[in-house]
Amino acid sequence: MQRKIRILVVEDEAAIRDGLMDVLVFHGYETDSAAEGNAGLDKAVSGQFDLILLDVMLPGMNGFDICNRIRARDPEQAIIMLTAKTSDEDIIQGLSLGADDYIAKPFSVAQLMLRIQAVLRRARIGVGMNHRIHLGNAIEIDCRNLQGTRAGENLAFTRREMDILQYLNANSERPVSREELLTRVWGYARDLNIETRTVDIHIAKLRRKIEPDPSQPRHLVTVRGAGYRLLTD
């Protein structure tokens, strides 16, 4: 018998927490929960969860700190952050810490479930792809270990950043659209109309890591009207 997917809900508002758990159980998921930050972190690092729904504003320890601590232990843990804070700075902070998605409250149940399904699908683009990427003579990237070097400087990548680099590298002969990245890397359905700046934020983060001058990218370039392209020469 196939085991159920396990989801941890870390949310301090009882009504939202209970509602989320009811919805998840209804859709066939196994759930656990925590009402404050420290308890949420303890459960996140001690249990085997396929996905963590993590509120940002929590007593004890905020969601950003929890995400950072989880990522330090398990770079591949799936995390969706839930928050009423929707400024670019907050979104960038959450995604920079390695969250797979960032959903603003209030959200519909339908939207939440689609986002959960997309994150859980997590396109397995690493299979059969190169595990090392060379960009010019100065940059070497070890895809398996989420690490790299640029002119002797050590680089660290999140699992999502590496997925993007591997997909762009596998399709380096052409530009890859934002929509294609959302479909193939994030796992969103093609007909899912979701407004998200996730791709743009991740591309900006990658450029800060791999480009000598992120404002004038030489490797991760924008092809106007077509998308992004990774130039390895």
In CATH, what number is assigned to the domain containing residue 50? 3.40.50.2300
Same domain as 116, residue 33: yes
Domain range spanning residue 154? Answer: 132-230
Please report whether residue 1 resides in a domain. no
Q: What is the DSSP string of 62-127?
A: -HHHHHHHHHHH-TT--EEEEES--SHHHHHHHHHTT-SEEEESS--HHHHHHHHHHHHH---TTT
Same domain as 139, residue 117: no
233 pLDDT band (50/70/90 cuts)? confident
Out of 34-43, 61-70, 123-132, 136-145, least confident range:
123-132
Out of 29-33, 85-89, 206-210, least confident range:
85-89
Same domain as 74, residue 28: yes
Same domain as 136, residue 116: no
Cα of 27 vs its chain's centroid, Å: 23
Please report whether residue 127 resides in a domain. no
Same domain as 136, residue 96: no
Please report whether residue 57 resides in a domain. yes
Same domain as 173, residue 78: no
Picking from 121, 140, 169, the residue at the C-terminal end of a domain is 121
**Number of independent structural domains in the chain:** 2
| pTM of the predicted structure, to 2 decimals | 0.61
Share of residues in the chain with pLDDT > 70 (%): 88
Same domain as 170, residue 108: no
Please report whether residue 126 resides in a domain. no
Same domain as 85, residue 160: no
87 pLDDT band (50/70/90 cuts)? low
Same domain as 79, residue 51: yes
Picking from 61, 86, 121, the residue at the C-terminal end of a domain is 121
Same domain as 194, residue 103: no
Same domain as 221, residue 191: yes
Please report whether residue 100 resides in a domain. yes
Picking from 97, 121, 145, the residue at the C-terminal end of a domain is 121
Same domain as 143, residue 63: no
Q: How far are the Cα atoms of 47, 82, 215 from residue 6, in angstroms, in the given order? A: 9, 18, 41
- Nearest-angstrom CA–CA distance, 125 and 141: 16
